[in-house]
A = this chain, B = another copy of it.
Amino acid sequence: LTRARLAESSRNGLVVPEGLIAHGRGEAFDYLLGERTTPSARRATRIAAQWLRAARHPVVSVNGNVAALAARELAGIQRALPRIGVEVNLFHRTPGRAARVARTLERAGVRHVLGVRPTAKIPGLPSDRAFVDRRGILVADVCLVPLEDGDRTEALRALGKRVISVDLNPLSRTSEQADLPIVDEVVRTLRNLAADLRVPGPDPVPGRFASFSAPAALRTARATIHRRLRKERPSRSPPASRRR
């Protein structure tokens, strides 16, 4: 179903060919991780909810793949944490695609989509990938970046922002650079995150963030893949007769 949705979204230009290839890379890691949320990823998502609630300016960055797969989940996150900024942030940006991503989000119930007409640039990136919204990522203290590329994750960190990534590849530069890498599939993660944000409780003190060990989380993800690879594979079908 996910593949069919992305293929369909590529036909109308919401998702670019490069986004389909990137999705395939994620699928491979999801398969190796067992196609389910690991306990470690679930814990990381809970910490991410705390960070977003403790943030002064939380922002989530949205590309074509995320809009195609998880627009409803983003609306759920915004309902649970209305002050989170939702910003369109495209690697392959055209005005038409930015508007299409925004429309997809709005149809799913997201309000005040940022970044459709970018108003600022972050330093250290090729210009077409540096555009941001000055009410959004530019002033954010905590950025949630699902399916982000390594260069931008690095640039955001260099600006002193806390970066929460969602990336199935525990070896990617994004996972390695993020302060809080969630190694899990994006729809599952954003759904869990919305649930965590809905849990009632006192608001955390702004700027007081729960501690998190990114290297330990990535080690755990790699160990999960190890275990899955070591397991005996289902046996091969019996060889067919060769006499014909």
Chain A residues within 8 Å of B, Cβ to Cβ: 3, 6-7, 10-11, 16-18, 20-29, 31-32, 154, 157-162, 169, 171, 176-177, 179, 214-215, 218, 222, 225-226, 229-230, 233-234, 236-237, 239-244
Contact = CB atoms under 8 A, between A and B. Distances in A.
Contacts of A31: 25, 171
Contact of A24 (B26, B230, B233, B237): B26
A57 to B, nearest CB: 11
A219 to B, nearest CB: 9
B237 A229 contact: no
Given A17-B6, A24-B23, A234-B176, A222 B229 contact: yes
Contacts of A6: 17, 21
A239 B214 CA distance: 12
A17 B18 CA distance: 10
Contacts of A162: 242
Contacts of A32: 171
Contacts of A239: 157, 179
A157 B240 CA distance: 6
Contacts of A11: 17
Contacts of A241: 160
Closest 7 CB pairs of A and B: A24-B24, A28-B28, A7-B17, A20-B20, A21-B24, A25-B28, A24-B25
A149 to B, nearest CB: 13
A146 to B, nearest CB: 16
A11 B158 CA distance: 36
Contacts of A10: 10, 17, 20
A182 to B, nearest CB: 16
Contact of A159 (B21, B177, B240): B240
B160 A242 contact: yes
A230 B226 contact: yes
A28 B26 CA distance: 8
